[in-house]
Amino acid sequence: MKHTSPVRKNSAGYFFYAAILIIIFSFSNYISFKSTHFLTENMLYGIIRTSFPIYRTDASLIMSFSPFLQKEEKANTEVSAAKPDIIKEEIISDSHVSADPVRSIYSAPASVTNDTGKSFDFEKIAKTDISSLKGKAVLVCHTHTSESYTPSENYPYSQYEPYRTLDKNFNVVRVGFEVTDVLKKHGIEVFHDTTVNDYPSYNGSYGRSALGVANYIKNNPEISIVLDIHRDAVSDKNGEAVKHLCNISGKDAASIMLVVGSNISGLKHDAWQKNMAFAINLQKYINSVYPGLCRSINLRKQRFNQQLAPGAVIVEVGTNGNTLDEAIDGAHYFAECLAEFLK
């Protein structure tokens, strides 16, 4: 059967909105970027959500009209491809977390690797009120959906390039299933977006992911926490993959790293410190239950779509050196802690 492309079928309507977008963004190039960014960005998302029902399959078309999304996508892609440059690691004392009597007894110190080039009072940020996140729904998504792990006896698989596969039984989507299953068993409302955002084109991943997250939040406004689950990439001086492990009850599990974005890149994200407070308090709780499970929080210049929700973070589960077995175990322990933390 011959299928008619929805793009061709509704081409007149799409080109009408395309013309509007081109005019808006061409005009905005002559005005201060920061002063017009918030207005034009939200106009873009509004037009996309109401006028592009096929945005998941034609996101590249939409991306091409937006200098803002292009700029952010380029920055995010560059960061994800680079090795992390540790600028400063700060240890936060236990006395500056939450006034909650349960959470004030955390025994594990929180640590932050600050890659922004700016100085911040992380002890003050840690005291930001995050009580509004308790009891809220969680969205699990995957910007770099095809990221995968070192094959193992239990999880052998075919890779289309090193440490990448589209088989959702073997990439980070499988890790996401573990997180969602644990959260549901604890009574947490959770959504899982398994859309492939990084194939066939890696460029545009964050733009496509942003559209998906925005759509989920629009249709489910109870979502306040967004976990963008990735797999880290770490290698030694010889280029060999390095695994990060935490031993829990005699069993090796992949360690976790939370990555938090900011507004240092110049893109609007005024509430990033609430995301950071969420990450700091969550990290302290996790490491008080399972010491060493959560690595140092990585604070970056880019915002990684985290402007879309107050509890949005990137969750790096293990590295390319870890096996999927280890990643699933690490994700399981992480989700257990998150579920308790949100109660």
Most confident segment among 4-13, 20-29, 221-230: 221-230
In a domain, 221, yes or no: yes
The reply to whether 118 and 262 lie within a common domain is yes
Q: Is residue 110 part of a domain?
A: yes
Q: Which long-range contacts (CB under 8 A, 24 or more apart) does 99-106 make?
A: 103/281, 103/284, 103/285, 105/288, 106/284, 106/285, 106/287, 106/288
220 plus 297 within the same structural domain: yes
Residue reference for tokens 């239950």: 289
Give the chain's mean pLDDT.
80
pLDDT tens figures, 287-309: 999 999 999 999 999 999 999 99
Q: 53 and 112, same structural domain?
A: no
| Same-domain pairing of 188 and 259 | yes
pLDDT band at 109 (very low <50, low <70, confident <90, very high): low
* Percent of the chain's residues with pLDDT above 70: 68
| Domain assignment present for 260 | yes
Residue 265 lies in a domain: yes
Nearest of 283, 294, 333 to residue 126 by alpha carbon: 283
Beta carbons within 8 Å of 136's beta carbon, 6+ residues apart? 222, 223, 224, 225, 311, 342
Residue 215 lies in a domain: yes
36 and 149 in a common domain: no
321 lies in the same domain as 287: yes
Q: Quote the domain boundaries for residue 42.
A: 6-65
For residue 110, what pLDDT band results from cuts at 50, 70 and 90? Answer: confident
CATH of the domain at 222: 3.40.630.40
Residue 132: pLDDT band (50, 70, 90) is: very high
Tell me the average pLDDT across 75-91.
Answer: 43
If asked whether residues 135 and 33 sit together in one domain, one would say no
Question: 104 and 52 in one domain?
Answer: no
Distance separating alpha carbons of residues 100 and 91, to the nearest angstrom: 21
Mean pLDDT, residues 59-75 taken together:
49
At residue 41, the pLDDT reads 47
Work out the average pLDDT over 136-142: 98
- Do 92 and 43 share a domain, yes or no? no
Cβ–Cβ contacts within 10 Å for residue 35, how many?
9
Same domain (yes/no): 200, 119: yes
Question: Do residues 313 and 265 lie in contact, with contact meaning Cβ atoms separated by under 8 Å?
Answer: no
Tens-digit pLDDT profile for residues 188-243: 999 999 999 999 999 999 999 999 999 999 999 999 999 999 999 999 999 999 99
Looking at the structure, do residues 144 and 31 belong to the same domain, yes or no?
no
Please write the tens of the pLDDT for every residue from 236-271. Answer: 999 999 999 999 999 999 999 999 999 999 999 999
Q: What is the pLDDT of residue 58?
A: 40
Angle separating helix axes 172-185 and 324-341, nearest 10 degrees? 30
Residue 18 maps to a domain:
yes
Write down the pLDDT at residue 69. Answer: 52
Would residue 170 count as lying in a domain?
yes
pLDDT for 80 beyond 80: no
What pLDDT was estimated at residue 101?
A: 28
pLDDT at 124 over 60: yes
Q: Could you tell me if residue 333 is inside a domain?
A: yes
Domains identified in the chain, total number: 2
User: pLDDT for 318-333, tens place per residue?
Assistant: 999 999 999 999 999 9
13 and 153 share one domain? no
Q: Which two tokens stand for residue 322?
A: 């870890």
